[in-house]
Amino acid sequence: MGRSVFSPADILLPHEADLSTWSVIACDQYTSQPDYWERVERRVGDRPSTLRLILPEYRLSRGDVSEQVAAINRTMEEYLPRLDLWPDALIYVERTMSSGALRRGLVGKVDLEQYDYTPGSAALIRATEGTVLSRIPPRMAVRRDAVLELPHVMLLIDDREDTVFRPLTEGKSGFRRLYGGELMENGGSIQGWLLDDDARDRTLAALDRLADPDRFSGAAPLLMAVGDGNHSLATAKACYEEQKKRTPPERWAELPSRYALAEVVNLHEASLLFHPIHRLLTGVDPAHVLTALAQYAPGGPEGPGHTLDYVTAETSGQITVPRPGAHLPVGTLQDFIDGYLAARGGTVDYIHGADAARTLARRPDAVAFLLPAMDKGELFPAILSDGVLPRKTFSIGEADEKRFYLEARRIV
């Protein structure tokens, strides 16, 4: 089953490029910090770089998006002769963060027929949180006429026994090293090895076992959950669906757009840290919000309640919601916030860092809710129980630990 979901790909890599200028971080990072991207521009200069093959999202507010996309497409054509093709490849990746922590990954392609971001889907690849449909069309404008894709999608597998990556770590000395080098802007370093035929077969067989229905107690098997890049994967799916409409069904399997390059990472990797994202309500009466939350009664199944920490300019404390309807406290809180704001007005912001949330809650019209870090072991059960998690449930790692663009694949 897993082999039909994730498989080797025809992967393109830069020919003897300097990774410290070739690789740049995911396009959706540092969107409110243009100085980051200005530093990247200066560092790259006129050197070959994935910076010329992507559209950093901080630029979307500019009025020349179509011109930027056209320039990207021209550069992709120009770069093609500089890229080496590694056919039918799976690449084992080791990313060493600036902190020294190691994150292992596996790069290949996923079948978009096996991916569905719709809440309640029974697909083998599912979104972890709600997909904002309005974010897809601008990304489609970039991908629709592109000859290459460059992935920043990270897919999580629930492999507590480390059956997929342990053999690769132990056997990497026998693999061909394809790349290695330092990454810019505190990104640490990265290395990649080409799996040989035996390692490839063993790895795909290990993925197959993770999709065994017996592991899911009657629920539809969930092989991979999208950890990062859900909207990019949703965009790839949307572009593929467009092409399906113009292609006879018997030829769908031949469409390069049916597949998307991605990196698989074990959810239980020690270096993979989940950070909470707190909620800040503004334009509200804090006392009224807290009273309404104390009276909130979802009426879910019997069991322990969800205790939520709050901070206002005047006070702090906890409120417990009995019989919550969601699997996680963040689900209970988000359901309450959505209903409250729809009825009473106000806005919600999503804040990284408890200290920042406390500071912002000093406003007289504000209340912050501080959420605990999510237990990684709860991710797959929560998706199986609730369909998808509330938006902004967690963040994987710090910004400079997000995936950097490096590998590419032809999609036309």
Cα 187–chain centre separation: 17
Token pair in block for residue 301: 């199944």
Q: Answer whether residue 2 shows pLDDT above 60.
A: no
pLDDT band at residue 241, thresholds of 50, 70 and 90? very high
Task: Give the pLDDT score at 286.
Answer: 97
For the segment 271-292, the average pLDDT, to the nearest whole number, is 94
Nearest to 367, CA basis, from 283, 276, 286, 278: 286
Q: What is the amino acid identity at position 368?
A: A
More confident residue, 29 or 93: 93
Within this chain, do residues 126 and 190 fall inside the same structural domain, yes or no? yes
Nearest to 400, CA basis, from 51, 95, 162: 95
Task: Give the pLDDT score at 353.
Answer: 81
Count other Cβ atoms within 10 Å, centred on residue 316.
14
For the segment 59-83, the average pLDDT, to the nearest whole number, is 90
Within this chain, do residues 116 and 230 fall inside the same structural domain, yes or no? yes
Q: Tens digit of pLDDT for each residue in 298-330? A: 888 777 899 999 999 999 999 999 999 888 899
209 conformational bin, left if phi > 0, alpha if psi -120 to 50, beta if neither: alpha
Count other Cβ atoms within 10 Å, centred on residue 195.
23
Within this chain, do residues 322 and 358 fall inside the same structural domain, yes or no? yes
Distance (Å, whole) CA 174 – CA 170:
9
* Number of structural domains the chain divides into: 2
Task: Give the pLDDT score at 304.
Answer: 86
Q: Answer whether residue 173 shows pLDDT above 90.
A: yes
Within this chain, do residues 86 and 153 fall inside the same structural domain, yes or no? yes
Within this chain, do residues 401 and 301 fall inside the same structural domain, yes or no? no
Task: Give the pLDDT score at 388.
Answer: 80
Within this chain, do residues 124 and 264 fall inside the same structural domain, yes or no? yes
The residue whose two tokens read 């992507």 is: 54
Nearest to 229, CA basis, from 34, 353, 54: 54
Least confident range from 34-43, 131-140, 232-241: namely 131-140
Q: Answer whether residue 1 shows pLDDT above 60.
A: no
Supply φ then ψ for residue 109, to 5 degrees.
-115, 150
Task: Give the pLDDT score at 36.
Answer: 92
Token pair in block for residue 196: 């040989």
Distance (Å, whole) CA 42 – CA 60:
20
Within this chain, do residues 42 and 127 fall inside the same structural domain, yes or no? yes
Mean pLDDT of the chain: 92
Within this chain, do residues 188 and 128 fall inside the same structural domain, yes or no? yes
Above pLDDT 90, what percent of the chain? 70
Within this chain, do residues 292 and 335 fall inside the same structural domain, yes or no? yes
Q: What residues contact residue 265 under an 8 Å CB cut-off, 6+ apart?
A: 103, 104, 105, 106, 154, 155, 156, 157, 227, 272
Q: Tens digit of pLDDT for each residue in 42-53? A: 999 999 999 999
Within this chain, do residues 22 and 170 fall inside the same structural domain, yes or no? yes
Within this chain, do residues 306 and 239 fall inside the same structural domain, yes or no? no
For the segment 101-117, the average pLDDT, to the nearest whole number, is 96
pLDDT band at residue 74, thresholds of 50, 70 and 90? very high
Within this chain, do residues 76 and 127 fall inside the same structural domain, yes or no? yes
The domain containing residue 230 runs over which residues?
Answer: 2-273+397-410
Task: Give the pLDDT score at 3.
Answer: 58
CA angle 113, 120, 351 (to 5 degrees): 100
Distance (Å, whole) CA 232 – CA 159:
24
Distance (Å, whole) CA 121 – CA 131:
13
Task: Give the pLDDT score at 375.
Answer: 86
Most confident residue range from 23-32, 255-264, 270-279: 255-264
Task: Give the pLDDT score at 79.
Answer: 96
For the segment 263-273, the average pLDDT, to the nearest whole number, is 94
Above pLDDT 70, what percent of the chain? 99
